[in-house]
Structure 1
Amino acid sequence: MYEQTSHALLNDILTKLKPELEHPNMRHFYTRLGANFYAIHSLFHLLYGEREDFPAQMLKLVETLARRYVERPTRLRDSDMGREQHYDWFLSQKWVGMAVYCDRFADNLEDMRDKLPYLQDLGVNLLHIMPILACPPSASDGGYAVSDYYKVDPRYGSNDDVKALAETMAQRDMLLVLDVVVNHTSDQHAWAQSARKGVTKYQDYYYAFDDRSMPDAFEQTMPEIFPVNAPGNFTWDAAMGKWVMTVFNHYQWDLNYRNPEVLIDMIGIMLFWANKGVDILRLDAVAFLWKKMGSTCQNEREAHLLLQLMKDCCQVTAPGVLFIAEAIVAPSEIAKYFGEDAINAKECEIAYNATLMALLWDAVATKNARLLNQGVRSLPVKLDRATWLNYVRCHDDIGLGFDDQDIRHVDYDPHAHRQFLLNYFTGHFPGSTARGLPFSVNAKTGDARFSGSLASLVGLEAAIEANDAYGIDMSIQTIITLHAVILSFGGIPLLYYGDAIGMVNDQIYLSDPNKADDNRWMHRYYFDWEKAAKRKQSGTLEYRIFSALKKLIALRKEIVAFADIQNRELLSVSNPNLLVYLQTDHKTSKSQVLVVANFNAEPQTLQLDEISASIPFFRQVAKDLVAGTLLELEGRTITVPALGFFWLAEG
């Protein structure tokens, strides 16, 4: 968009760019800068326009973008242009992800290249490596307390190892996802160390106060993230003689984005890793970016403006790079992290579908799909050029973040129902075989989350110990059905390492004093490669799970209707134990797949006449895409196996 004030400022900035930022092949950079500058200037002005140094900060921002473009390798510039041409490339059904810990799935980044064949055997082509940037060996929050944004932690390898891994993955048509922790740093970061020494510039990088008056005012409305292990939101730093905002842990200092230098530095960091070949940047804790007195300091409008600025700047320098919003927030808030444009994601192209994850766990515990159906019906509509990360399990604890109104709609009491779920998954409900542990119990409110591996939470660990063949069968079937949903729901399915071979809780974390008080480490296990080898031995539980998921993933990649183009229709049925939805290939309107999942431990019947208007193509027979057989429909009913599912197409 042309606007005179912005255009004049841009001309002034370009005349002041340093000579070393001139480059013979800057045409694409200047084209993108011109196209995005009005938005960049407007957003920057909304946030920082009252500052006297606004023009100087704008110059610094553009210099950062130009410098990173000059540094960007030719291979990546070519990739950018290809992705610009095929702008909806990431909505394809061919992408399937997995999240891993570098030193728990492999030895290090170099060894990770040797582990790629395992991922490809399963069908995974998008790899999220959990935080690998330098952090203190002890107080690191699993890598989310960064002490150096420009350096890989030596325990994992080097920056060159990231580049080599990215190049190898690109050759295999695989995508690399890395974290950038944008909300806070370690208290050992150079910025924090300088702040401790009294350097005013870096004290302004954080929220630091001389006395408790401001912290106490903030605390009036700010919730506690870890009320047990890290109560409160401020920590006294004796060396600096100030109270520092520490929303997560005492050693994680929240960055002050009211200071434009923080934003500019962070954009430079993001583009630095984009230039190493990272395809997708996972931006951690984005809901917390802007702090405002009298609020929860979450989901503020300015946090969204910051993300829009980050995205616009990335579009100038590295437009082929995507953002994931790590925003585990209320269902009504999640979709806002795509941005509020009519079509394109103005903030992050990808967001975690935490609501679907929580709803699936509800169905596992209740053995019905009542809340699951209601919650899916209430999910906000995403933008056309945006997608969900659908997952069953991740590295974190499981929060029960569905909407109270949805819970009441299915005649549950919100507080009592959440307490039931917590009791169920921690094995304290009669008949439950789940082996989870409560996490971060808030004594004031009674709220809590829970930890545990997928296999342990669905009862597989208990069934193995009891030598319960039926329990093993049902647990394995639950694992497969949960994945059948996330693989067919539309979006990018994200598996968790270990789930495809049925890994259970690992108690070794209890012997590590740095991890013993955080039970999330019991599902952040070391990957068992001996167990993984059993995936090739017919009859083993590893074989049963792995081969089933491998087959589903391969099928998914062939089913165009599973691409994420606003093509899912949730169908209402009278059987409360079933989740039923239709996926359609809107490009041809011919390919349609009916997904039916049964969350009850008994076979359930689907009455086809209830959904006949949506499936006119279902006449005498339907094709079971997973079994590769025809399903007779003479009685106009389908019997869905206990805890089973169907992917059905026209016969």
Structure 2
Amino acid sequence: MYEQISHSLLNQILDDLKPEIRSQDLRHFYTRLGANFYAIHNLFHHLYGRRDDFQAQMLKLVETLARQYIQRPDALKMLDIERENDHNWFLSQQWVGMALYSAGFADNLAGVADKTPYFQELGVNLVHIMPILECPTGKSDGGYAVSNFRQIDDRVGTLEDLQRVSSEFRKRDILLTLDVVLNHTSNEHQWAKRAIAGEQKYQDYYYMFDNREIPDMFEQSMPEIFPETAPGNFTWNETLQKWVMTVFNDYQWDLNYSNPTVFIEMLDVILFWINQGADVVRLDAVAFIWKKMGTICQNEREAHLLLQLMKDCCQVTAPGALFIAEAIVAPVEITKYFGEDAIIAKECEIAYNATLMALLWDALATRNCRLLYQGLKSLPDKLERATWLNYVRCHDDIGLGFDDNDVRQVDYEPNAHRRFLVDFYTGQFKDSIASGVPFMRNDKTGDARIAGSLASLVGLETAVKTGDQKAIDIALNKIILMHSMIFSFGGIPLLYYGDEIATFNDYSYLDQPDKANDSRWIHRPKIDWLRAESRNKQGTVEHGVFSALKKMIAIRKETSAFADFNNRQLVDTTNPHVFSFIRYDHNRPSERVLVICNFSEQPQRIEMAKLSAAGFGIYGQVYDLYSGKRPTQFDNQLVIQPCLFYWLSEF
């Protein structure tokens, strides 16, 4: 868009670019900069326009974009152009992801490169390698307390190892996803060390106060993230003689994005890793990046403006890269991280569907789908050119963040219902064989979250120990059922490493002092590759899960109705134990799949008339894509066995 003020400033900035920048071939860069500059200028001015150095900071921003464009490998520049020409490429049903810790999955990055054929065997073609950057020993928060944003931690490898991973992935059309932690640094980061040494420039990178007056005002409205291990949101630094904002842990110092230098530094970090081959960047803790007194300091409008600015800037330098918003927030807030455009994601193209994850665990515990239906009906629609990341399990805890109004709509009392779920999955509820553990129990509120591996939470660990074959079969069905939902629901399904071979809880973390106080390590396993070989042996639990997921992934990739174009319709079966929805090909709406999931441990029935009402079975017979057979029917009713599913199509 042409606008005189921004156009004039752009001309001046281009004239002021360093000669070593102007001398480069910047044709595509200039085209994209011109197309995006009005938005970039508007956002940057809104956030930082009151500063005397505004114009100098704008020049610094454009120089950062140009420098990273110059350093971008030619192969990645070509990929940018391909993806610009096919802008809906990431909405395809072809993508299936896996998240993993490189150390837990294969010892290090070199091991991940060696295991690339494993991803192909399963059908995974998007791999999220969780934090690999330098962190202090013992105070790493699982890799999210970064002490050097440009240095890979030598415990997992080198930059050359990552480049090998990127190369192996690109040969096989596997997307590489890496983390950038936006909200904070380690207190051992060079910026923090220089702040402690007294450099005002770097003290301005953080929130620092001489006394408790302002921190106490913040605390009046800010919640505690880790009340057990890190109560409060500020930490006293003896050397500085100041209070430092530390929302997560006392060793994680929150960055001050009201300082444009911080924004430019972190944008430069994002572009650096995109240039190392990251197709997708997971932006950690995006909900927290703007602080405002009198609020909970989450989901502020300025946080969204910062993300819009980051996206517009990346569109100039590396338009082929995608952003994932790691915003585990209230359902009504989640879709805002796609952006406010009616169609195009102007912040992040991908967001974690934490609501679906929590609702699935609720349905599994209650054997009832009422809250699942209600919660999904209340979840706002995503943008057309954005997509969900759907997952059963991740490296983090299971937070029960569904909306209290939805809970009341289905006649549960919110606090009591959450306590039931925590008790159920930690094995405290009668007849529950789940073996999870609580995470961050808050004695003030009675709240807690849940930790544990998928296989242990569904009861497989207990069932195997007791040798109860019926319980083993039901637990295996539950694992497959949960994945059938994320593969078919719409979005990119994300497996969590180890779940594909039914890995149990890892209790060894209790013997490690730096991990023992964080129960999430119970589900951050070290893969036993000898056990993983059992995936090739029929009759083992590993084979049962691996082969089922492999088959579902293959069917998903062949089923155009599973692409993500807002092509889903919930179906009310009137059976509270059964969840159902229709997926259809947005180009050929008559080509549809009816998904039916039984969350009960008992067989369930649906009147065939319900299928007719949904438009199925009127003009032809239905069959199950997964089994290749017609579904079981009796007395004009469809029968679904315990914890099983159908993907029904017509022929």
CA spacing shift, 1:636–1:377, aligned 2, 3 Å: farther
- Confirm or deny: 8 A CA contact 1:621 1:631 kept in the other structure: no
Q: What amino acid maps onto 1:353 in structure 2? A: N
How far the C-alpha of 1:3 sits from its partner, in A, is 0.4
**2:566 corresponds to which residue?**
566
1:550 counterpart residue number: 550
Cα distance between partner residues in 2 of 1:203 and 1:616: 64
Is contact 2:632–2:640 with CA below 8 Å preserved after alignment? no
Deviations 1:593-642 (A, max 9, x none): 00000000011111232352432454562111111123476844211111
Q: How does 1:507-518 map to 2 (within 5 A)?
A: 507-518=507-518
Residues 1:23 and 1:480: Cα distance change in structure 2 (over 3 Å): farther
Equivalences for residues 450-489 of structure 1 within 5 A: 450-489=450-489
Whether the aligned pair in 1 keeps the contact of 2:24 and 2:70 (CA below 8 Å) is no
2:490–2:562 CA contact under 8 A, matched in 1: yes
Give the Å deviation of 1:381.
0.1
Q: Counterpart amino acid of 1:81?
A: I
CA RMSD after TM alignment: 1.0
Match of 2:316 in 1: 316
Contact preservation (8 Å) 1:355, 1:402? yes
- Cα shift readout 1:22-58 (whole Å, capped 9, x = no counterpart): 2442111000000000000000001001000000000
Structure 2 residue matching 1:169: 3-state secondary structure: helix
Alpha-carbon distance between aligned partners in 2 of 1:111 and 1:422, rounded to the nearest angstrom: 36
The equivalent residue for 2:626 is: 626
In the aligned structure 2, how far is the partner of 1:576 from the partner of 1:314? Answer: 46
Q: Distance in 2 between matches of 1:362 and 1:259?
A: 42
Q: How big is each residue's C-alpha offset from its partner over 1:220-265, in whole Å with a ceiling of 9 and x where there is no partner?
A: 0000000000000000011111100000000000000000000000
Cα separation, partners in 2 of 1:245 and 1:27, compared to 1, 3 Å: same
The letter for the 1-side match of 2:159 is N
Preserved CA contact (<8 Å) 1:279 1:320: yes
- Whether the aligned pair in 2 keeps the contact of 1:620 and 1:633 (CA below 8 Å) is no
Asked if structure 2 preserves the Cα contact closer than 8 Å seen for 1:572 and 1:611, the reply is no
Aligned-pair CA distance for 1:120: 1.1
Alignment check: 8 A CA contact 1:620 1:632 kept? no
The question of whether the paired residues in 1 share the 8 Å contact of 2:92 and 2:563 is answered with: yes
* Whole-Å separation in 2 of the counterparts to 1:272 and 1:337: 23
Partner Cα distance (2:616, 2:436) in 1: 44
Take 1:197 and 1:216, find their aligned partners in 2: how far apart are those partners?
A: 26
Tell me the secondary structure at the aligned position of residue 438 of structure 1.
strand
Which amino acid is 2:196 matched to? R
Match of 1:201 in 2: 201
Matches within 5 A, 1:18-417: 18-417=18-417
Percent identical: 61
SS in 1 for 2:131: coil
8 Å Cα contact 2:474-2:643 kept in structure 1 = yes
Which letter does structure 1 place at the counterpart of 2:203?
A: Q
The amino acid that maps onto 2:11 is N
Q: Could you tell me which runs of 5 or more consecutive residues in structure 2 were left unpaired when the two chains were aligned.
A: none
Q: Distance in 2 between matches of 1:131 and 1:616?
A: 46
What CA deviation, in whole Å up to 9, does each residue of 1:510-566 have, x standing for no partner? 111000111110100101111110000011110011001100000000000000001
Mapped to 2, the partners of 1:632 and 1:435 lie a distance apart of 34
Cα offset, 1:151, TM superposition: 0.8
Query: Which residue identity does 1:534 align to in structure 2?
Result: S
- Tell me if structure 2 keeps the 8 A contact 1:456–1:462: yes
**Counterpart secondary structure, 1:448:** strand
Q: C-alpha separation between the residues in 1 aligned to 2:257 and 2:237?
A: 21
CA distance in 2 between partners of 1:349 and 1:213 (Å): 40
Deviating above 6 A after TM superposition, structure 1's stretches of 4 or more consecutive aligned residues are none
One-letter amino acid matched to 1:569: Q
Q: Aligned equivalents of 1:144 and 1:631: distance in 2?
A: 47
Contact 2:616 2:622 in 1 (8 A): no
SS in 2 for 1:629: coil
SS across alignment from 2:244: strand
Deviations 1:278-304 (A, max 9, x none): 000000000000000000000000000
- State how far apart, in whole Å, the 1-side matches of 2:591 and 2:634 are: 22
Distance 1:59 1:24, change over 3 A: closer
- Larger displacement relative to structure 2 (622-631 or 444-453): 622-631
Question: In the TM superposition, what is the alpha-carbon distance from 1:161 to its structure 2 partner?
Answer: 1.8
- The 1-side partners of 2:53 and 2:609 are apart by 68
SS at match of 1:131: coil
Partner deviation per Cα, 1:48-103 (whole Å, 9 max, x = no partner)? 01000000000000000000000000000000000000000000001000000011
Q: Is the 8 A contact 2:93 2:564 kept in 1?
A: yes
The answer to whether the 8 Å contact 2:606/2:637 transfers is yes
Structure 1 pair 634/427, CA: closer, same or farther in 2 (3 Å)? Answer: closer
Alpha-carbon distance in 1 for matches of 2:464, 2:514: 30
The letter for the 2-side match of 1:312 is: D
Distance change >3 Å, CA 25–CA 618, structure 1 → 2: farther
- Quote the offset at 1:483 in angstroms: 0.2
Question: Structure 1: which 5+ residue stretches go unaligned?
Answer: none
Residue-by-residue CA offset, 1:137-172 (whole Å, 9 max, x unaligned): 110001000000011111111112222211210110
Q: 1:618 to 1:106 in 2, by over 3 A?
A: farther
| Aligned-partner residue type, residue 516 of structure 1 | A
Mapped to 1, the partners of 2:24 and 2:263 lie a distance apart of: 28
The two structures have a TM-score, normalised by structure 2, of 0.99
